[in-house]
Amino acid sequence: MAKPMPPHASLPAAQHLVVRYAKRGKMRFASHRDVARAFERGVRVAGLPIAYSAGFSPHPKISYVGGAPTGVASEAEYLTLALTSPEAAAQVRERLDAALPDGIDVVDVTEAGLDGSPEASVWQVALPGVQADVAARAVAGFLALTEAPVERLTDKGVRRMDARSAVREMVVLDPSDEIATADARRVAVTSEDGCAILRMVVLHMSPAVRPEDVLSALSAGQGLVPSSPPLTIRLAQLWPGQGRPEAEEGWPEACQLGQGSRGLLTGKTAS
């Protein structure tokens, strides 16, 4: 018996929507494939008229942009949906968000308008047990380098990369300085109860340099070692020609993330 064709399989795409979503709580440990499966199911449950690819085994037309590494939370993941009939973006956001599991939250849905690929990401890292002055000295030492080689074991073997060339901006700011919260493309190192907060802009390069690689360079070259695993969140992705993103009000203190501040690590059910 022939394999039944999915609904809308033969219909062309009439609308493309860009979905910005957050990966929070336990879902930060989900792989890209896990997230993709969640969205494919969510689209069906939400009843969205998704377009399908042609061929013997059609797939929903969902395109993903630069997913965050497994184990990292994010407030700025993106995908594009191809729909066979126009839908109101606000309605798509509401229906899709309700159909997704806790920890994958739809932040915004807009008409397609992203050109090319993002060139950098804004990351925030909480460093438990690290004092502000120690972090400041480590950052200053890192910025003074012309190269910071690090190695990472991948499926294709050990990859060597330059963490320094990937860091576009990095500054140390006082927690009372308004610039620390108004400029998301800079790095803020602050301290509260022995927990420094590092905010950095890392270029998307090949091979990819991840926040963990920058932290490895800070550890090996500057002796910056947190007392427990750091908490990393992607706050934004930046496209070519995009101006400095406006700060989002209420960005959580990184040292409080484990306590569910603003739901960054707890998902839809956080209070």
Question: Per residue in 54-66, pLDDT tens?
Answer: 878 888 999 998 8
CATH topology of domain 15-111: Alpha-Beta Plaits (3.30.70)
Amino acid at 165: S
Buried b (16+ CB within 10 A) or exposed e, 251-260: bbbbbbbeeb
Q: What is the pLDDT of residues 185-238, one digit of tens each?
A: 344 555 445 788 888 999 999 888 999 999 999 999 999 999 999 999 999 999
Q: Is 205 helix (H, G, I), strand (E, B) or coil?
A: coil
β-strand partners of 19:
79, 109
Q: Is the Cβ–Cβ distance between 18 and 111 less than 8 Å?
A: yes
Around Cβ 32, how many Cβ atoms within 10 Å? Answer: 13
pLDDT at 76 over 60: yes
Q: Say what the pLDDT of residue 11 is.
A: 84
Q: What is the mean pLDDT of the chain?
A: 81
Least Cα distance to 216 among 207, 208, 225 occurs for 225
Q: Is the Cβ–Cβ distance between 201 and 169 less than 8 Å?
A: yes
pLDDT at 177 over 80: no
- Give domain limits for the chain: 15-111, 120-269
β-strand partners of 75:
none
Q: What is the pLDDT of residues 8-36, one digit of tens each?
A: 556 888 999 999 999 999 999 999 999 99
Q: Say what the pLDDT of residue 237 is.
A: 93
Q: Give pTM, 2 decimals.
A: 0.80
**Assigned token pair, 118:** 């993002």
